[in-house]
């Protein structure tokens, strides 16, 4: 099993990263209850080998990016920060979100992320969602322009179809795709297959279903063989399933962080994979 992946053959990262969605307060809104604990959590994630940190400007909003910079800047060599723009948060939960894929908003959002993360260029900038009110070609043209200006090194997409990836590829090389995907949720298997064929990183969000892993008999049996938790097994399955998958489990708990990162050491057999594959 490959333990690293190279974004566009350029930036090598450990495949098991850290998702900073839970760094802000409840429902992704406002500051965390214990800011020092989140600083410790982020530093520990990097210490454990999570050198790919995934975030977004709407986490908080802005809180996650600010705390990442406070915890990790100046960034150690090899640490890659990926952030997202194109969703605007006005309040907690899904009802507090609004799409905005206009070039005007994305330019402001991109410069805001650069400022908060204390960077002159973003390693990876991902469009959080396509805005149905804005022609995709217009959004993609702006992203290509931002890359040409040197504001971003690589570009990615989130929650897209194969057809939408192909359209984006007419404007810029797509480095990553971030869709919901897990052991129990494989709706985007065709997208994963296309990304693997194209050498695109596939970053599953909710890789362990927000921690709510279905504890089936098959999962229990395989986990017991490896003396692993079902969370670890779900992450290990992703790492074994395809070499371009970069799971980014998030947590507010140091104990869960340590548990998640140990999943990279599990070595599943062909028999294990066959049993787990049958679930989906």
Which of 9, 27, 60 is CA-nearest to residue 69?
Answer: 60
Question: What is the bridge-based pairing of β-strands 18-19 and 87-89?
Answer: unpaired
Q: Give the DSSP per-residue string, 7-56.
A: ETTTEEEESS-EEGGGSSSGGGBS--S-HHHHHHHHHHHHHTT--EEE--
Give the phi and the psi of residue 160 in degrees, each rounded to 5.
-130, 160
Tell me which of 29, 59, 75, 181 is the catalytic residue. Answer: 59
CA–CA gap between residue 118 and residue 83 (Å, rounded): 13
Beta strands in the chain (DSSP E): 4-7, 11-14, 18-19, 52-54, 80-85, 87-89, 97-99, 122-127, 152-158, 174-178, 201-202
Is 75 part of the annotated catalytic residue set?
Answer: no
> Are the CB atoms for 113 and 122 separated by under 8 Å?
yes
**What is the set of active-site residues?**
59
């Amino acid at each position: 099993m490959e333990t690293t992946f190279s974004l566009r053959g350029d930036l090598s990262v450990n495949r098991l990263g850290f998702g900073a969605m839970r760094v802000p307060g409840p429902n992704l809104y406002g500051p965390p209850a214990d800011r020092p604990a989140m600083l410790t959590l982020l530093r520990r994630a990097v210490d454990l080998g999570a050198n790919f940190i995934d975030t977004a400007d709407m986490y908080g909003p802005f809180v996650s990016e600010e705390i990442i910079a406070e915890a990790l800047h100046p960034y150690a060599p090899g640490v890659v920060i990926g952030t997202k723009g194109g969703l605007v948060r006005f309040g907690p939960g899904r009802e507090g979100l609004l799409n905005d894929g206009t070039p005007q908003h994305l330019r402001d959002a991109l410069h805001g992320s650069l400022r908060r993360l204390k960077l002159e260029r973003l390693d990876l900038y991902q469009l959080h969602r396509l805005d149905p009110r804005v022609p995709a070609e217009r959004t993609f043209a702006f992203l290509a322009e931002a890359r040409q200006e040197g504001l971003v090194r690589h570009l990615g997409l989130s929650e897209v179809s194969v057809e939408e990836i192909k359209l984006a590829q007419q404007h810029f090389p797509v480095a990553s795709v971030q869709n919901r995907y897990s052991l129990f949720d494989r709706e985007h298997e065709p997208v994963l297959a296309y990304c693997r064929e194209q050498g695109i990183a596939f970053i599953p969000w909710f890789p362990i279903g927000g921690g709510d892993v279905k504890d089936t008999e098959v999962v229990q049996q395989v986990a017991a063989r490896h003396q692993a938790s079902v969370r670890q097994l779900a992450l290990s399955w992703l790492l074994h399933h395809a070499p371009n998958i970069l799971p980014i489990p998030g947590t507010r708990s140091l104990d869960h962080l340590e548990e998640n990162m140990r999943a990279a050491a599990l070595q599943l057999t062909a028999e294990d994979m066959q049993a787990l594959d049958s679930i989906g």
